[in-house]
Structures are given as structure tokens and as C-alpha cells.
């Protein structure tokens, strides 16, 4: 096999709490992560020119060594000691960028999975997660996907029962936020209200869709929504169209709503898309 094409799925955070800060500056978290249908297509092809080249259909995504997919390939060859014969990576980008949806992390995870298959290294998920963690805190989750409780800095993963199936409207306003900046800001402005992550895990165990929707909560929303009125505006539109629950994902600014009713989801999608072009209608995976 010379080439492999994988779907690299985005994630949303059903809950997100920051529980402490480590000496290296990273924060400990406790959050429920969920894969959604929205995905990039990542194609990895062996070549024989000794180079790692990357193409992407979005001009604002870096194509050099700053791209997490290229960094993932370099980390794979460093870990295995294999000599890279040359690689061509192509990313068809559908996931909004710098959006709190782990777009770069999921591309990196797809490259690690692709290389483990292409080079028949059989590293397995645990080792791929170790390599992934050197690239970013969200990469181990992206390798595993599904519904997970994430602790540590995001890499201590415990599988949870799959979330009840529903539609998801994702809306990214036309600005980006820096994950590092949001973590820095939360040190000074930790909200008093914290998510009920234990309750969220229980709602998932019981397949209680309303219980999931009522417990959506992200401590980072307080930080980001104060600076950007669009977060509140998007939530208001989602809820006024009949979303069963809504929250910001990750460090933002993407804000999402969960819907059982496809007509309400379509109405929310239409209204938001007219104001914020980077709006997507997808589903819980």
C-alpha cells in the first residue's frame, strides 16, 4: 500500500473544567469530549524524493513544518528510527481553523494512524498516543475519538457510553482565539460556576439526552464571551431556534447547539449561516 486516505473528525467539549496549573505552565483539566461528523480528509502518500510536502486547500493553513500534520510525520520517523522515503500529505479542510474544534490535532492524529499502517509498524494506539502527546494535549483524544472523559492535561482518557444521537449546529464567528491566551486569561478569571462533569457522565450512562443538554458547560466561555459578544449572539440564536442545549467548544470561539428536531436544526443553521458563513450542520458520532 502506497497511499491512505482518512477522515479526521472534529471534536466538541460537552463539559470543560480547568482544575489546576502545573509547573510547566500547562493546566490540568476535566472535560467530556465528543467526536462529531464534520471532518477533514487527510491523504498520506509514500514518495521517493526524501521530502515531506503538504498541500491544503485553505491558504491560511501553514504548509511547512509548522503544520501539525508535518510535525506528526517527523515525530513518527523520530520515534521509529525509520528513514523517511518521502511523503506527500494533502488536507482537504472542512473543520474551521483556530476554532476550539481540534482541527490541527485531528489532522496530526490521522497522519500518525496512516503512517502506522503504511509503514506496517504496528505501534498500536497507546504508543501513537504517546507520540501524539508530544504534539499537543488534544492529539491523544483525537487518536481515540468517541465519547471520553479527559483528565490530566487532556491525555488521561476514560471511555464513556456513547452520547445519545443528535444533530449539532456548529458556528464559528469570523475571528480566531489563541488556546494559550485563553488558558492564561482563565488563571485570573476562573468562574465560580463549574460544570457538573459527574452529572454529565451519569446522564451519558443513562442515555439521558435532556440531562446531557442541560449540563453543557465550559468554563472558558466566561473568558471568551466577555471579550466577544458574538458568542452570546450565537447562543441566543441557537436557543431561540429550539436548540436543546448550547455551549462554546474548547477555547472557542466555535459555539454549538444540540438538536433532536431536524427542522429546528435546519432553521438554526440557515439563520446562523446568513450571518456567520463558517456554520456547519453535523451530528454526534
Ligand X SMILES: Nc1ncnc2c1ncn2[C@@H]1O[C@H](COP(=O)(O)OP(=O)(O)O)[C@@H](O)[C@H]1O
DSSP 62: -
Residues between 32 and 61 with contacts to ligand X, criterion CB under 6 A: 61
* 137 counts as binding ligand SUD under rule CB under 6 A: yes
11 noted as active-site residue = yes
| Residue 63 touches which of ligand SUD, ligand X, none (Cβ within 5-8 Å per kind) | none
Would you count residue 25 as binding ligand SUD (CB under 6 A)?
yes
The CA-atom distances, in angstroms, between 193 and each of 29, 201, 217, 221 are: 15, 18, 9, 11
The answer to whether 105 contacts ligand SUD (rule: CB under 6 A) is yes
Q: Find the shortest distance in angstroms from Cβ 220 to ligand SUD.
A: 7
Report the alpha-carbon distance of residue 54 to residue 43 in Å, rounded: 10
Residue of 14, 102, 111, 166 interacting with ligand SUD (CB under 6 A): 102
Q: Which does residue 29 bind out of ligand X, ligand SUD, none, counting CB within 5 to 8 angstroms by kind?
A: ligand SUD
The size of the interface with ligand X (CB under 6 A), counted in residues, is 20
Q: Which is nearer to ligand SUD, 176 or 275 (CB)?
A: 176
Surface-to-core class of residue 22, CB atoms within 10 Å of its CB (0-12 exposed, 13-18 middle, 19+ buried):
exposed
Taking CB under 6 A as the criterion, the residue among 6, 33, 68, 216 binding ligand X is 68
> Using the rule CB under 6 A, which residue among 15, 16, 107, 131 binds ligand X?
107
Task: Take residue 253 and report the three cell numbers written for it.
Answer: 470561539
| Spatial separation of the C-alpha atoms in residues 3 and 182, rounded to whole Å | 38
In contact, 171 and 159? CB cutoff 8 Å:
no
Element (H or E) spanning 168, and its range?
Answer: strand 167-171
Check residue 100 for interaction with ligand SUD (CB under 6 A): yes
- Tell me the CB-side half-sphere exposure of residue 249, using CA atoms within 13 A: 30
Q: Which residues bind ligand X (CB under 6 A)?
A: 61-62, 66-69, 91, 97-105, 107, 179, 250-251
Amino acid at each position: 500500500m502506497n497511499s491512505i486516505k482518512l477522515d479526521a473528525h472534529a471534536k466538541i467539549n460537552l463539559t470543560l473544567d480547568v482544575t489546576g496549573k502545573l509547573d510547566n505552565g500547562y493546566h490540568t483539566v476535566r472535560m467530556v469530549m465528543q467526536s462529531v461528523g464534520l471532518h477533514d480528509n487527510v491523504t498520506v502518500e509514500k514518495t521517493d524524493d526524501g521530502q515531506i510536502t503538504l498541500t491544503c486547500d485553505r491558504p491560511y493553513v501553514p504548509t511547512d513544518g509548522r503544520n501539525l500534520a508535518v510535525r506528526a510525520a517527523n515525530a513518527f520517523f523520530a520515534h521509529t528510527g525509520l528513514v523517511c522515503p518521502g511523503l506527500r500529505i494533502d488536507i482537504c479542510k472542512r473543520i474551521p481553523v483556530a476554532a476550539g474544534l481540534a482541527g490541527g490535532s485531528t489532522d496530526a492524529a490521522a497522519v500518525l494512524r496512516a503512517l502506522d499502517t503504511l509503514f506496517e509498524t504496528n505501534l498500536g494506539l497507546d504508543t501513537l498516543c504517546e507520540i501524539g502527546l508530544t504534539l499537543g494535549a488534544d492529539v491523544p483524544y483525537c487518536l481515540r475519538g468517541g465519547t471520553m472523559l479527559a483528565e490530566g492535561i487532556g491525555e488521561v482518557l476514560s471511555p464513556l457510553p456513547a452520547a445519545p444521537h443528535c444533530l449539532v449546529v456548529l458556528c464559528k464567528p469570523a475571528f480566531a482565539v489563541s488556546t494559550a491566551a485563553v488558558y492564561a486569561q482563565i488563571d485570573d478569571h476562573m468562574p465560580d460556576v463549574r460544570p457538573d462533569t459527574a452529572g454529565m457522565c451519569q446522564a451519558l450512562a443513562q442515555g439521558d439526552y435532556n440531562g446531557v443538554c442541560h449540563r453543557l458547560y465550559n468554563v472558558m466561555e466566561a473568558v471568551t464571551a466577555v471579550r466577544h459578544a458574538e458568542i452570546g449572539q450565537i447562543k441566543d440564536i441557537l436557543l431561540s431556534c429550539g436548540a436543546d442545549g448550547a455551549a462554546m467548544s474548547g477555547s472557542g470561539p466555535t459555539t454549538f447547539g444540540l438538536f433532536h428536531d431536524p427542522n429546528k436544526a435546519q432553521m438554526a443553521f440557515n439563520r446562523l449561516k446568513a450571518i456567520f458563513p463558517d456554520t456547519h450542520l453535523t451530528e454526534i458520532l
